[in-house]
Amino acid sequence: MRQVVIILAALAILGGVWAGIRGLRLFARGLRSGDDPRCSLWVIRGLRGIIVWLCLTSLALGAVLEQVWLLVFGGLWLLEEIYETGVLALILRSAEGQPPRRTQEQPGLNRALPSRRHSRQKGGTPNSPAGILGP
């Protein structure tokens, strides 16, 4: 039975290393190309790969060394991070296909305000209604 645990732990470590290397590449790609609209997804996927690497390694070590705390730590952190990054990736993907929002122009807000030159006509003070609105 011990050999089966060691074989499964070795496979978990190999899978974790593969996920970690892929995660590091995606993370670096996302940081390098910050102007690409998909860069945030690359960073999230990269972080997910790095976390999977750490969690699978801790699960494998916990199984081989028979340390319950490593099994609990690796399992709970893996579940929490996969859920969290999955929701974040879902939010980013849903916003990816939408055009950027534009504020609707409201009539009257784009009008130019009268200049100070106009407010001093016919003896009005700069802030008096008579000077701004005219005679």
User: 60-115, pLDDT tens digit by residue?
Assistant: 999 999 999 999 999 999 899 888 888 888 888 887 666 656 555 555 555 555 55
pLDDT, residue 8, reads 92
pLDDT, residue 122, reads 55
On whether the pTM is more than 0.75, the answer is no
HSE-CB at 65 with a 13 A cutoff on CA atoms is 11
pLDDT, residue 56, reads 93
Question: How confident is the model over 11-23, as a mean pLDDT?
Answer: 94
End-to-end CA separation in angstroms for the chain: 100
Confidence band (pLDDT; 50, 70, 90) for 21?
very high
Residues 6+ apart with CB under 8 A from 18: none
pLDDT, residue 90, reads 87
pLDDT, residue 120, reads 52
User: 25-42, pLDDT tens digit by residue?
Assistant: 999 999 998 888 888 889
